[in-house]
Amino acid sequence: MDFEYRGGAQAVKLSALSKRTEEALSAVGLDPKEIVQLVTRAIAEDLDGGEDVTSISTIAPNHRSSAEFRNRIDGVVAGIDVATAVLELVGLQRIDSFAKDGDFLKPETVILRVDGNTREILLSERTALNFLCHLSGIATDTHEWVEAVSGCTTLIRDTRKTTPGLRKLEKYAVRMGGGVNHRMSLRESALIKDNHIAAAGGVSEAFEKVRSAFPKLEIEVEVDTLEQLNEILPFSPDLVLLDNMSVADCRKAVEIVGGRFPLEASGGLSLDKARAYAETGVNYLAVGALTHSAKVLDIGLDLKAEI
């Protein structure tokens, strides 16, 4: 059933998602309703209460075209079903995909093909590409980190340094690049960081307070020094984050812990140092840059023919 988003002087009338797209989004942990809300706001932002003046001026109302989404450079694609959702919401129905999220694509690979009303294709173009390029950029950057530590047991994972409102999508893209997710929200688990430690009066005091308040919750503790690590050892945390430690100190930390709980290196990491940190034996490398600094993957849409 069609619905309307009212913003500004004019209503934006959108169609519904197909059952296939709803099921595809749900299957990977994305809520179709949330995707609809994101896309609706994006299209409403683009129209700003008006209409696409260029397309209305240059293209007949019933003009129909075929168009293809292609990547211009190598990369891992993510967000195909989100882009499909954009196309469907503006009213397009003949959409074919030729890749799947997580695929590494060579340049000029056809990702999606859409046939339909030309005005609708162009209305959806920028919003679909914004999602597809951004998520594919995250997946591609994650893939590079994963490749850098290939052969090691260390996993690459993200942080909460995400774009407001896009966390679930961005963390999904990390998974498509071969990474793993850290906590999705503040309620999911406890992460005792330096400011908590300072406010609580010490790392031991902070740990005891969290354990007392939430006895069944997973607790991760951030430590800046090996001395702090030794202090927290008797408490057997679920995980310890080694913040801004050198490769040498991370190696010592692995020896100190001796496998009693997982260790995560974070802060000051770069792609060229990833393997050195992984070879220390830490379980995770936490990389905020996967989401807060990822470059978009260059993907474009080209009209191929009038139909």
Which of 75, 271, 31, 78 minimizes the C-alpha distance to 174? 78
Rounded CA gap, 287 and 156, in Å? Answer: 7
Name the burial class of residue 66, with classes exposed (0-12), middle (13-18) and buried (19+) by CB atoms within 10 angstroms of its CB: middle
Instruction: Quickly tell me which residue has 């995909």 as its tokens.
Output: 97
Residue 65 near residue 25, CB atoms below 8 Å: no
Q: Give just the sign of the alpha carbon dihedral 166, 172, 178, 180.
A: positive
Report yes or no: 193 and 222 within 8 Å, Cβ to Cβ. yes
What residues are annotated to the active site? 126, 161, 193, 222, 243
